[in-house]
Amino acid sequence: MSEGDSIGESVHGKSSVVYRFFTRLGQIYQSWLDRSTPYTAVRWVVTLGLSFVYMIRVYLLQGWYIVTYALGIYHLNLFIAFLSPKVDPSLMEDSDDGPSLPTKQNEEFRPFIRRLPEFKFWHSATKGILVAMVCTFFEAFNVPVFWPILVMYFIMLFCITMKRQIKHMVKYRYIPFTHGKRKYKGKEDMGKTFAS
């Protein structure tokens, strides 16, 4: 490989200014993401606020319904992945390799592991809203459609998808929210002490 062939290197082997700028920008962005991790409620309030601003913008502009529909489908897809287990129990029925969800009362407790963790769900949902917001600044994305049909189709798609997901949850007996291992009461302490 000749000098300067690697990404981000100039002809003399030093990193280019553009590469260093974007690397530093990525590090700052990752730092902010890392700092926001423990603040779940605040992150979701900000995302809901962005969503509200986006909806107001679409309402005032009276357009970009197809972008909003695509955003809704994207969020539905993220939500389904958030509710789904990492290892699909229907694929693990016959094989005994790897962890699976408990199906009987006496089986060992295993916490619910999501296919899409909460943080990635929030991050992807927020990025989707921001991308949709940017799309509303370009007239090319303002495709004329009859929006009531999109709303009805989205509602129908949402109901069918959630029905399928709920049936899957009932069939394989899992709840996508884990509150910890169930605590059992032991024998009551009789208050007797042993003297030795």
Residue 11: inside a domain? no
Residue 138: inside a domain? yes
The pLDDT assigned to 64 comes to 93
Q: How many domains does the chain have?
A: 1
Residue 167: inside a domain? yes
CB-CB neighbours of 85 under 10 Å: 20
Per-residue CA distances from 87 to 3, 72, 112 (Å):
46, 26, 10
Residue 4: inside a domain? no
Residue 166: inside a domain? yes
Q: Full-prediction pTM beyond 0.85?
A: no
Q: What is the pLDDT of residues 98-143, one digit of tens each?
A: 555 555 666 665 667 788 899 999 999 999 999 999 999 999 999 9
Residue 118: inside a domain? yes
Rounded mean pLDDT, 13-39: 90
The pLDDT assigned to 104 comes to 61
Q: Please give the residue that has the higher pLDDT: either 100 or 72.
A: 72
Residue 163: inside a domain? yes
Q: What is the pLDDT of residues 157-186, one digit of tens each?
A: 999 999 999 998 888 877 777 665 666 666
Residue/partner pairs of 32-35 with CB below 8 Å, 24 or more apart: 33/123
Residue 97: inside a domain? no
